[in-house]
Structure formats: C-alpha cells, structure tokens
C-alpha cells in the first residue's frame, strides 16, 4: 500500500523526479522527467545522462558524483543546456540532488528538477527592457541639459547633475546657460514637478521658452513671465516648476548680477575675500500655477574671487535617516558652511564639493535629483 502511494506521488509530481544507481544510471523516471529528456522512459533506464546528452548530461553527472562522494545534498542548482533530442532548444532547469540511503549506506541518488525556462527568459527580457529604459532615460536627460559650458572671458563656469533614485528615469531638474552677447549670460536652474516623460516634456517646454524669450529680452523677470505663460498653455496636470534666473554681465573686472527666483531656492554668493555667503534675490511665485505672478528682481556685484552658486532643492532637502529613526536634512546652513570653508575655490571645485557632500550625507544614494551651477569671477580680460 505504501509503495503504491509512493509511486503515485512520484508519477503525479509537477516536476521531474529521477532515481539513479551508484553508477549514475537511470533507475526510475516520472513522466515529467521523461518529457524533459525528450526520450521515452524505456530508453532512459539503464543509461547515464552523459550517454543520452553529452553536453548537459555530462555536466549533470559531475553534480551527481559529488553528491554520491560526499553524501551531502545539493539544492537549487541552475543548469542550462539542450537535450540530445532537441539540440536547438536551450532550456533552464533548477535541480536538487540528494543521496538515497539504505542502512546508512548511499545506494543511489534522487534528482528533483523544475523547468524554469519561462521564468528565466522573462527575467532576461525584463533586464533587457530595464537596460533599454536606462539608456533612453540617459539620452533624454542629456538632451535637456546643455552639452557643454563655455568659459567666457572674465569668468569660470561649472555644473553638475546627478539623477536621484535607484531606477533610471528622467528627472525634473535642469540647468542652462544662454549667451546674450560677448559679455552677458543668462544662468538658469530649475526643477519641474515629477519625473518621467511628462516631466521631460515640461522641462523641454520651459527650457526652450526661456531660450526663446532671451532672444527678445535679458531681463530675468520678463524671461520667467514668458516661461509661466508657456507652462499654463501646456495645461499639464501638476505642471508647476521652480526656476532661478540670473543675468550676469561683465563690466571690466567685475560681473554685475540681476536675479529673479520663481519659487526656487535663492542663489548664493560666496565672497572670495571674506568667505561670507549671501543670498541673492527675493522669493517669487512658482511657474505654472497662476497667470499673474510676482517676480522681484534684485542685483549684486561679483568681484574677482567671488562665486555665484545656483542649486536645486535636491541639495538642501537631501535627507538622512538617523539611528533614532528621525530624518535629518542637509539644509541650507550646512550648504552655507560648506561654501564658506572654501572661499578660494574655483567654480568646478565648488560644484564638485557640493555634489560629493550631498552624496556622502546620503551614503551614496540620492533620493532626489541634484543640480548645481556655479560662476566664479576671475577678472581676466
């Protein structure tokens, strides 16, 4: 009765079950294992896997002999190959092997095999899809950022951008530099709400609206008013954006600045002579929310050694979970202290230091996009 029940269990199992003797010859196979081999059971019995399938069979025999030699089972071994009856059909199997004992002596081997080809192919297809998505996201993101930054006379320019999160996607942060003439530039940094294709379309709309507006006016408030109109006409849900826009105009050895901020963190100015850090401008209305917005414009002067730093909230709102379970922000005070500590640094060094500090603060894993744009007055002619 027990033997009949055991036979019924083996024959009805939804995975392959095979019994082998000490010489690795088939002694018993169930219908599933018979189908996996592509050979009738009567042709399997008394023959070894290597005799039937020289490639994958020989590989399997190495596993079988190790189990027989050691007396220890081996579980969840992934094997890939093709059986002799279907040489072009590469399959994947998850196999476990354990010794069969009688009076504590190993007299054979039992093999349990599951065909995981479908799962493996789906996993490979998913990995390929994620890689394609990553490449597309990188290509799209780079199309939303200037390919390089010029180095005009009298100034150093530098920028960094790092996407946040663990999954490749298109972020909402962007920066741009628009040359008005030989001695004037419009520096722009912004953050569109959301990520992905919708954020990308809004980012492109804002960026090109700003570039188009700059053809007719260099006034930061007028430029941002145009961008606000474009966003409202886009009509995208949650289509809001914060932007800081600064007109930099070289006048001899100094650089005159005029800035407007539409809901964006205010730019900071590092005074190279003293290490003092100052805010530039006053808060204004974010873009894409109201037809009438308030965008006050304020100015200052950079002398040689001074640095203008524009950044997105991925810097100051970077978060770190403390040992007590609370959240600590990188914060503006930490950013100011970082800048004040390097009053003589160049534009690229400052942008890089901000990036590195935020990465270190979050143990190398950014939760949000990060962008920094810096301009240092050099006084060169």
**pLDDT tens digits, 22-67:** 999 999 999 999 999 988 999 999 999 999 998 899 999 999 999 9
304, 272 in Cβ contact below 8 A? yes
* Joined tokens for residue 332: 């503006």
Q: Which residue has the higher pLDDT, 201 or 355?
A: 355
The C-alpha atoms of residue 11 and residue 34 are separated, in whole angstroms, by: 11
Over range 295-311, report the average pLDDT: 97
Q: What is the pLDDT of residues 316-362, one digit of tens each?
A: 998 887 777 788 999 999 999 999 999 889 999 999 999 999 999 98
Residue 224 clears pLDDT 90, i.e. is over it: yes
Q: Which residue has the higher pLDDT, 12 or 332?
A: 332
**What is the torsional sign of CA 207, 148, 346, 354?**
positive
Cβ atoms within 10 A of the Cβ of 90, count? 13
318, 361 in Cβ contact below 8 A? yes
Over range 112-136, report the average pLDDT: 86
In three-state form (DSSP H/G/I as H, E/B as E, the rest C), the secondary structure along the chain is: CHHHHHHHHHHHCCCEEEEEECCCCEEEECHHHHHHHCCCHHHHECCCHHHHCHHHHHHHHHHHHHHHHHCCCEEEEEEEECCCCCCCCCEEEEEEEEEEEECCEEEEEEEEEEECHHHHHHHHHHHHHHHHHHHHHHHHHHHCCCCCCCCCCCEEEEEEEECCCCCCCCCCEEEEEEEEECCEEEEEEEEECCCHHHHHHHHHHHHHHHHHHHHHCCCHHHHHHHHHHHHHHHCCCCCCEEEEEEEEEEECCEEEEEEEEEECCCCEEECCCCCCEEECCCEECCECCCCCCCCCEEEEEECCCCEEEEECHHHHCCEEECCCCCEEECHHHHHHHHHHCCCCCCHHHHHHHHHHHHHHHCCCCCCCCEEEEEEEECCCC
What is the predicted pLDDT for the residue at 268? 98
Mean pLDDT over each residue of the chain, to the nearest integer: 88
Label residue 139 by pLDDT band (50, 70, 90): low
- Superfamily for domain range 148-377: PPM-type phosphatase domain (3.60.40.10)
171, 141 in Cβ contact below 8 A? yes
285, 294 in Cβ contact below 8 A? yes
Residue 238 clears pLDDT 70, i.e. is over it: no
* Joined tokens for residue 164: 């946040």
The C-alpha atoms of residue 181 and residue 161 are separated, in whole angstroms, by: 26
What is the predicted pLDDT for the residue at 204? 83
CA distance to 132, 270, 337, 380, per residue, from 341 (Å): 42, 10, 6, 24
Cβ atoms within 10 A of the Cβ of 81, count? 17
| Neighbouring C-alpha atoms within 13 Å toward the C-beta of 378 | 13
Considering only CA atoms, give the Rg of the chain: 33
What is the predicted pLDDT for the residue at 2? 62
- Superfamily for domain range 2-115: PAS domain (3.30.450.20)
The C-alpha atoms of residue 244 and residue 263 are separated, in whole angstroms, by: 8
As a whole number of angstroms, the longest Cα–Cα distance in the chain is: 103
The C-alpha atoms of residue 93 and residue 168 are separated, in whole angstroms, by: 31
Query: In which residue ranges of the chain is CATH 3.30.450.20 found?
Result: 2-115
What is the predicted pLDDT for the residue at 173? 85
The C-alpha atoms of residue 77 and residue 79 are separated, in whole angstroms, by: 6
**Locate tokens 């009509």: which residue?**
235
Residue 167 clears pLDDT 60, i.e. is over it: no
Query: In which residue ranges of the chain is CATH 3.60.40.10 found?
Result: 148-377
What is the predicted pLDDT for the residue at 236? 65
């Amino acid at each position: 009765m027990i033997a009949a029940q055991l036979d019924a269990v083996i024959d009805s199992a939804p995975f392959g079950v095979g019994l082998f003797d000490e010489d690795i010859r088939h002694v018993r196979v169930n219908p599933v294992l018979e189908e996996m081999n592509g050979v009738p059971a009567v042709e399997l019995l008394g023959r070894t896997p290597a005799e039937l399938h020289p490639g994958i069979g020989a590989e399997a025999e190495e596993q079988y002999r190790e189990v027989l030699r050691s007396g220890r089972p081996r579980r969840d071994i992934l094997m890939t190959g093709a059986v002799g009856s279907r040489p072009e059909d590469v399959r994947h199997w998850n196999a476990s092997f354990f010794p069969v004992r009688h009076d504590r002596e190993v007299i054979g081997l039992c093999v349990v095999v599951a065909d995981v080809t479908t799962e493996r192919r789906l996993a490979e297809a998913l990995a390929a899809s994620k890689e394609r998505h990553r490449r597309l996201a990188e290509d799209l993101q780079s199309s939303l950022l200037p390919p390089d930054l010029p180095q005009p006379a009298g100034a150093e320019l530098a920028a960094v951008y790092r996407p946040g999160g663990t999954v490749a996607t298109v972020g909402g942060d962007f920066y741009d530099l628009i040359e008005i003439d030989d001695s004037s530039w419009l520096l722009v940094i912004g953050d569109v709400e959301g990520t992905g294709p919708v954020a990308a379309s809004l980012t492109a709309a804002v960026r090109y609206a700003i570039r188009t507006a700059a053809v007719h006016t260099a006034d930061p408030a007028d430029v941002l008013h145009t961008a606000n109109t474009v966003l409202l006409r886009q009509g995208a849900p949650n289509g809001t954006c914060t932007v800081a826009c600064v007109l930099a105009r070289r006048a001899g050895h100094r650089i005159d600045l005029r800035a407007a901020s539409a809901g964006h963190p205010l730019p900071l100015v590092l005074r190279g002579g003293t290490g003092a850090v100052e805010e530039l401008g006053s808060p204004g209305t974010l873009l894409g929310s109201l037809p009438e917005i308030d965008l006050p414009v304020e100015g200052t002067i950079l002398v040689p050694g001074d640095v203008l730093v524009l950044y997105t909230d991925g810097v100051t709102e970077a978060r770190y979970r403390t040992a007590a379970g609370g959240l600590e922000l990188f914060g503006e005070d930490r950013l100011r202290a970082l800048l004040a500590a390097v009053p003589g640094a160049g534009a690229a060094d400052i942008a890089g230091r901000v990036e590195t500090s935020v990465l270190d603060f979050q143990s190398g894993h950014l939760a949000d996009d990060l962008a920094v744009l810096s301009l240092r007055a050099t006084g060169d002619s």
